[in-house]
């Protein structure tokens, strides 16, 4: 046990001697929080619209008014010819174009049916999908409103009207921030524990000091513990920072228990430290360690964990593959802990899978590491 602490002490001294390391360990999570808290939002606030109204009737103007009234669309250009919309979209001056046909009013009034053309910039597919949904809704509302009026005019009285009353749970104001900020926990822990711990161990290889460590009377297990404990501590400090900033600065609701959060995080740390150890056995230089850790552990984890892209939308094979990503389970637990307040008990399957992955990864890494050392 004293051996373990000796190594821990040495590691902390080394980290502390590197003056820039400590501020970085503290500042990096805050920086990530600010980025993801403020910038990672898909909410669309404004879509610049070009209108080409061939009809120029009171009906067509009313349609444009009702579309613009939704606050999402802002008509920034009125053109006489649809061809004029193309260059506006190409130069990104407008994002969408709305073209109303010549006999628009007549068709609506006589209920003959008509069609309007919407052109949009598809090069940003995510935004285009959302903007189109809004446009579709605005047009549908207008169309059914007109149909209702026409029916009332011919004296029909029994016109149905169904309202949708949304009741939103857990994130009542539908803020992207409340979803993204808890996820920063996973991100920060990945950076701090997988990458830095692997680089730290490989550094001893690069410097040739690993032999010195090996000839000390410490066993492989104690060596691993001594090397990884400082990063466990750094990880825990970073968790505190993230939680403090999330709750007090971003006012993200924390509805679950902090004990559950700590337990889940410790469980996740077993996996990440195991991954760090694993990378360190594969890599020969710090550069390799960093590249393997970032490119093959961090990037796939972020992409497959549901961090940004929902898992349900992936093809089945990738959904299955994502089960082997510890971050997926951790994210599911942490997000629910913050927003829903559900404890570990209702996430039993995630907890079990996370623990299983942790034991497997860490066990494999430790065996490989020991083989190298002994």
Task: Considering the complex, state which of residue 114 and residue 236 has its C-beta at the smaller distance from another protein.
Answer: 114
Residues 123, 217, 248, 374: which binds another protein (CB under 8 A)? 123
Q: Degrees (nearest 5) of the Cα angle 293, 14, 210?
A: 65
Q: Kindly identify the residues of this chain, within the stretch 84-113, that bind another protein according to CB under 8 A.
A: 86, 89-91, 108, 110-113
Count of residues that bind another protein according to CB under 8 A: 125
**Position 294 contacts another protein (CB under 8 A):** yes
Instruction: Identify which of residues 147 and 363 has a Cβ nearer to another protein in the complex.
Output: 147
**Interface with another protein includes 80 (CB under 8 A)?**
no
CB of 220 to another protein, least distance (A): 23
Helices 220-244 and 21-34, packing angle to 10 deg: 50
Please compute, for residue 83, the number of CA atoms within 13 A of its CA located in the half-sphere on the CB side: 0
Considering only residues 160 through 199, tell me which ones interact with another protein, judged by CB under 8 A. Answer: 160-172, 174-176, 178-179, 191, 195-196, 199
Alpha carbon distance 316, 368 (integer Å)? 32
CB-based burial label for 246 (10 Å; 0-12, 13-18, 19+): buried
> Residues 4-43 vs another protein: string with x where CB under 8 A?
--------------x-xx--xx-xx--xx--xx-xxxxxx
Does residue 264 touch another protein according to CB under 8 A?
no
- Which one of 72, 94, 142, 329 is in contact with another protein (CB under 8 A)? 142
Q: Is 286 in the site for another protein (CB under 8 A)?
A: yes
Contact call for residue 58 and another protein (CB under 8 A): no
Whole-number Å distance between alpha carbons of 68 and 98: 11
- Contacts of 278 by beta carbon, 8 Å cutoff, 6+ apart: 198, 361, 364, 365, 368
> Rounded to whole angstroms, how far apart are CA atoms 355 and 43?
35
In 3-state terms, what secondary structure has residue 263? helix
Q: Which is nearer to another protein, 121 or 369 (CB)?
A: 121
CB 202 within 8 A of CB 280: yes
Local structure of 50: helix, strand or coil: strand
Check binding of 45 to another protein (CB under 8 A).
yes
Measured distance CA(6)–CA(247) in Å, rounded = 36
| Distance of alpha carbon 183 from alpha carbon 171, whole angstroms | 15
Q: Which of residues 226-255 bind another protein (CB under 8 A)?
A: none
CB nearer to another protein: give 311 or 359.
Answer: 311
Please state the closest distance from residue 10 (CB atom) to another protein, in A.
15
Decide whether 18 or 374 has the Cβ nearer to another protein. 18
Q: Among residue numbers 207 through 226, which ones bind another protein (CB under 8 A)?
A: 207
């Amino acid at each position: 046990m004293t051996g373990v602490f000796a190594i821990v002490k040495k590691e902390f001294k080394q980290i502390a001697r590197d003056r820039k390391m400590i501020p970085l360990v503290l500042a990096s999570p805050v920086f990530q929080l600010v980025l993801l808290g403020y910038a990672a939002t898909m909410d669309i606030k404004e879509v610049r619209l070009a209108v080409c109204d061939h009809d120029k009737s009171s009906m067509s103007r009313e349609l444009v008014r009702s579309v613009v009234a939704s606050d999402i669309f802002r008509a920034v250009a009125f053109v006489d010819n649809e061809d004029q919309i193309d260059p506006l979209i190409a130069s990104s001056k407008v994002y969408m174009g709305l073209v109303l046909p010549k006999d628009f009013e007549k068709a609506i009034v006589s209920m003959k049916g008509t069609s309007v053309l919407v052109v949009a910039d598809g090069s940003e597919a995510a935004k285009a999908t959302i903007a189109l949904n809004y446009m579709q809704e605005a047009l549908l509302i207008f169309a059914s409103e007109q149909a209702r009026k026409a029916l009332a005019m011919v004296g029909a009285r029994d016109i149905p009207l169904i309202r949708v009353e949304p009741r939103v749970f857990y994130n009542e104001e539908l803020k992207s921030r409340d979803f993204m900020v808890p996820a920063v926990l996973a991100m920060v822990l990945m950076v701090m524990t997988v990458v830095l711990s692997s680089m730290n161990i490989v550094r001893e290889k690069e410097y040739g000091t690993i032999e010195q460590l090996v000839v000390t009377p410490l066993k492989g297990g104690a060596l691993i513990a001594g090397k990884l404990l400082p990063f466990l501590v750094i990880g825990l400090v970073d968790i505190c920072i993230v939680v403090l900033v999330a709750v007090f600065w971003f006012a993200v609701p924390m509805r679950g228990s902090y004990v559950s959060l700590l337990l889940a995080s410790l469980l996740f740390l077993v996996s990440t430290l195991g991954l760090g150890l694993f990378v360190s056995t594969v890599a020969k230089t710090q550069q390799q360690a960093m590249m393997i850790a970032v490119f093959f552990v961090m990037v796939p984890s972020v992409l497959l964990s549901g961090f940004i892209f929902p898992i349900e939308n992936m093809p089945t094979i990738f959904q299955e593959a994502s089960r082997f990503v510890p971050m997926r389970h951790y994210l599911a637990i942490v997000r629910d802990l913050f927003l829903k307040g559900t404890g570990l008990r209702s996430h039993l399957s995630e907890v079990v899978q996370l623990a299983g992955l942790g034991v497997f990864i860490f066990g494999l890494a430790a065996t490989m590491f020991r083989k190298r050392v002994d």
